[in-house]
Amino acid sequence: MKRIYLDNAATSWPKPEAVLAAMEDYQRRLGAPAGRGVYREAIETERIIAEARRRLGELLGVAQANRIIFCGGCTDALNIALHGLLRAGDHVITTVTEHNSVLRPLRFLEETRGISVTRVACGARGIIAPDDVRRAIQSQTRMIVLNHVSNVTGAIQPAVEIGRIAAEHNLLYLLDAAQSAGHLNITASELGAQLIAVPGHKGLLGPLGIGVLYVGPGVEAELASFRQGGTGTKSEDDHQPESLPDRYESGTHNVPGIVGLAAGAQYVQKTGLAAIRKHLRGLTELLLSGLREIKGVTIFGPGDAEQQLGVVSIAVKGFDPHEAAAALDGAYHVQARPGIQCAPQMHAALGTLKTGGTLRLSVGLLNKEAEIEAAVQALAELARSASG
């Protein structure tokens, strides 16, 4: 039976052929580190990394490519920003929709560094009201951290409006673009975000273990380097270089990851964000409308393809989410993600924390309508089996 992969919010699969080919070509033909050798392959690798940096900058509307920091993923990017910026006495505003990659560093910094945090509640459909963010501002507030798109409900947050509030109050604005990158337009200046954390392996269709942090102009003056080490530059000095990107990029680069991410980003650019959004909106509408017809299925979040991306959380009456996911895979080879999805406060807000979370179906660019129809059919049979 063919695999129907609907766990794209965790990581996208399959990857475009161009991504696999670029990674293989680098590893077979070059296989060198960047910025550390004078032989042909090392110089070529350096050129490839510079081009990847430029491409990622272009995708985020950033002309200064040295403001694109390659890192280990979105969690890594968020940690570099939060640990590097926050100091004792700082107040941070975030939301209950956040992933643990924001909640946990903030909790850690509350307990170890003496920062304070306000977690703004969302409405019944999982959307944050900008006015609630405005009301949470205190004299000590230094930063707003927002999850652009929920990995539980797919809800698209009013990131531009919240960016405006940050700008009006001269606050740092860190956007977690884990679910939106590659799906929505993320132009740093339009969003008013000085910091954007981006995974390479989800909507940008690259491999696991690579991501990007955008560091806006002037932020580096406040952003301490989180880890130090070799950069291949100024090697005679045992101080970390101040210049970007070296200040935040220590150690031999994950070149296969960077090459794959650049090829994924190029695929996204060639396809076009408007076409991607249209395709995903169509698949999401198909999924939502099918699910609405199934007796015993509850949909959480907006339930509207205009207000959400292709992430849909449901409950199936008579099934614990883990049982439902196992049954779907076992009998139909439909692959979805059960549980809390690393977002405990989002589930507390939805009332699903105590019921084991939800069953999350998440569509990707390479999914086809027929797969969504087959998944809906499988869920209908599953729901019927519980009532029959």
Ligand X SMILES: Cc1ncc(COP(=O)(O)O)c(C=O)c1O
Query: Do 42 and 194 form a contact (C-beta atoms < 8 A)?
Result: no
Q: At what angle do helices 273-292 and 369-387 cross, to 10 degrees?
A: 20
Nearer to ligand X, 101 or 367 (CB): 101
- Give the Cα separation of 109 and 308 in Å (integer): 31
| In the complex, least distance from residue 364 CB atom to ligand X, rounded to whole angstroms | 13
H-type alpha helices, the chain: 17-25, 40-59, 74-85, 100-113, 130-135, 159-168, 188-191, 255-271, 273-292, 321-332, 344-350, 369-387
Nearer to ligand X, 32 or 262 (CB): 262
Nearer to ligand X, 153 or 225 (CB): 153
Q: What pairing do the DSSP bridges indicate for beta strands 172-176 and 195-199? A: parallel
| In the complex, least distance from residue 341 CB atom to ligand X, rounded to whole angstroms | 7
Nearer to ligand X, 77 or 276 (CB): 77
Q: Which residues bind ligand X (CB under 6 A)?
A: 10, 73-75, 99, 101, 147, 151, 176, 178-179, 199, 211
Nearer to ligand X, 50 or 208 (CB): 208
| b (16+ CB within 10 A) / e for 23-57 | beebeeebebbbbbeeeeebeebbebbeebbbbbb
| In the complex, least distance from residue 302 CB atom to ligand X, rounded to whole angstroms | 16
Q: At what angle do helices 100-113 and 74-85 cross, to 10 degrees?
A: 20
| In the complex, least distance from residue 371 CB atom to ligand X, rounded to whole angstroms | 21
- Give the Cα separation of 268 and 377 in Å (integer): 30
Nearer to ligand X, 35 or 260 (CB): 260
| In the complex, least distance from residue 210 CB atom to ligand X, rounded to whole angstroms | 9
80: left (phi over 0), alpha (psi -120 to 50) or beta: alpha
Task: Return the residue matching tokens 């070059």.
Answer: 30
Nearer to ligand X, 73 or 241 (CB): 73
| In the complex, least distance from residue 151 CB atom to ligand X, rounded to whole angstroms | 3
Q: Which residues does 27 contact at the CB level (< 8 Å), separation at least 6?
A: 256
Nearer to ligand X, 106 or 178 (CB): 178
| In the complex, least distance from residue 177 CB atom to ligand X, rounded to whole angstroms | 8
| In the complex, least distance from residue 205 CB atom to ligand X, rounded to whole angstroms | 13
Of the candidates 108, 103, 143, 138, which has an alpha carbon nearest to the alpha carbon of residue 119?
Answer: 103
Nearer to ligand X, 12 or 367 (CB): 12
| In the complex, least distance from residue 221 CB atom to ligand X, rounded to whole angstroms | 26
Give the sheet arrangement for strand 337-339, strand by strand: 297-300, 311-316, 358-362, 337-339
H-type alpha helices, 206-343: 255-271, 273-292, 321-332
Q: Which residues does 159 contact at the CB level (< 8 Å), separation at least 6?
A: 146, 148, 175, 191, 193
